[in-house]
Amino acid sequence: MLRSIAPLTLALSAIMLAPLAQADCADDQAWCETKCEVKHMTDDAAIAGCKSKCVAERAACSTQAGAETAWDATKEAAKDTKSFFKGLTE
């Protein structure tokens, strides 16, 4: 039972924090695509290529945000586990 507490805490923390980080990535992508449409107003192929770059940047942003969220959740889970055992043994 005790071994399942830390992973559960980690998973719940990651689920709760991930949407916040991904919202910034979505905003960045929307802004990037808007700039593409303005910059290449009359060239559909250039717009498509530019938007492809925006999608790739979004993927990188989401990956980085997910990794940071997981790291933060891991640190918090370790702290909680330490506190749990402190309370258990005192």
Domain limits, the chain: 21-89
Report how far apart, in Å, the C-alpha atoms of 80 and of each of 4, 18, 86 are. Answer: 13, 20, 10
22, pLDDT greater than 70: no
Residue 19 has pLDDT above 80, yes or no: no
Q: Please give the pLDDT value at position 56.
A: 92
Q: What pLDDT, on the 0 to 100 scale, is given for residue 73?
A: 72
pTM above 0.75, yes or no: no
What pLDDT shows up at residue 1? 46
Between residues 38 and 85, the one the model is more confident about: 38
